[in-house]
Every structure is written in C-alpha cells, then in structure tokens.
Homo-oligomer: A and B are copies of this chain.
C-alpha cells in the first residue's frame, strides 16, 4: 500500500466522508465505509484521526475557514448593503451545492448528533452566519435602503430557512434543479420583505 503523510491522508479521508454523506447518507458513514472509500484499512484511519468525531470536527473547521470567513469578509466589505446581501447569499448557496455532504452534516447532524460538543460546533456555524446577516441588514436599514419596520432578528431567522429547505431539496435531488435560478428566485422574495 502506498504511504502518504498524515496531512495528505487527512484531506483524502475528509473527501471520502463528504462523498459518502452526499451519495449514501449519514447512516452509511461508518469508519469501515470511509476506509473502503479511501482504499486503506480501518486501522489506518485511526492513524490520522483519533476518532470519528474528530473527522467531523475537522470538517466543520474547514467550513469555517472556507465559507464563514469568506462571508465575514463580504459583510465587512465596502460594498453597498444590497450587493453585500446578494453576494453573501450566493456564497452560501454555492457552497452548499458544491459541498452537499457538508450541508447534510450541518443541518441534519445538528439535530441528530448525540454528541453535545459536535452539535454545539455545528450550531455555532449557523449562529455565526445569522449574526453576519443581521449586520448586513442593519446597515441597509440605517442607510434607509430597507424598511425600518422589519425586525432584523426575525428576518435573519426567516433567511436561515432557505439553506435549511435547500438541504431537503438536495436530498430530493430534483433533476432539473438550477442553483443559479434558485438563488435568484429566493432573493426576489427576500427583497420583497426588505423593501420599504
């Protein structure tokens, strides 16, 4: 068997996990199945991660680095709020669609997880995103772009329903699903709420 250093193996293991999640689902995510997909023995998995939980935590960390931080950059940028919101939204939808395994992990495991620390970390990602969104909307309202009447927290809660429902739509995996179109259509509805 070809030998690879831990860092390379870790990446391959996490890719296998995402692959299994998006094609076979949460219930098929066993160490045995991961090992099969990577092409090594079960024991080899434990050479690079100390437990199954550690693999999932590492993936959540990647979501933070690869998505949430990027969204934070958008929120803190000098773009006008309307453009910010759209970019923020698109980044999220695109990420979810190109990382279906992670989506299932985020929105299903947050509920299903029996480990409280893992659940906590998953919910932290969702909460962080919600807070960034509130920051953007607040700015738009202050600038007089959007209605002062809407409750920003309610809007943010409402907004988070879109990725949540997208998760279900991904599982339904409709053949004729167009992510670009989905983003635009949902954004139209979001704007209808915000507009004065």
Contact = CB atoms under 8 A, between A and B. Distances in A.
Contact of A193 (B164, B167, B189): B189
Interface in A119-154: 119, 123, 126, 150-151, 154
Nearest to A172: B123
A169 B126 CA distance: 11
B25 A114 contact: yes
Copies of this chain assembled into the complex: 2
Interface in A159-196: 160-162, 164-165, 167-169, 171-172, 185-186, 188-189, 192-193
Interface residues of A, number: 37
A90 interface: no
Contacts of A123: 168, 172
Contact of A25 (B111, B157, B192): B111
A158 B169 CA distance: 12
A26 interface: yes
Contacts of A161: 158, 160-162, 164-165
A8 interface: no
B112 A185 contact: no
Contacts of A157: 165, 169, 186
29 contacts: A25-B113, A25-B114, A27-B112, A27-B113, A27-B114, A28-B114, A110-B171, A111-B167, A112-B112, A123-B172, A150-B189, A151-B185, A154-B186, A154-B189, A155-B189, A157-B165, A158-B161, A158-B165, A158-B186, A158-B189, A160-B161, A161-B162, A161-B164, A164-B165, A164-B167, A189-B193, A192-B192, A192-B193, A193-B193
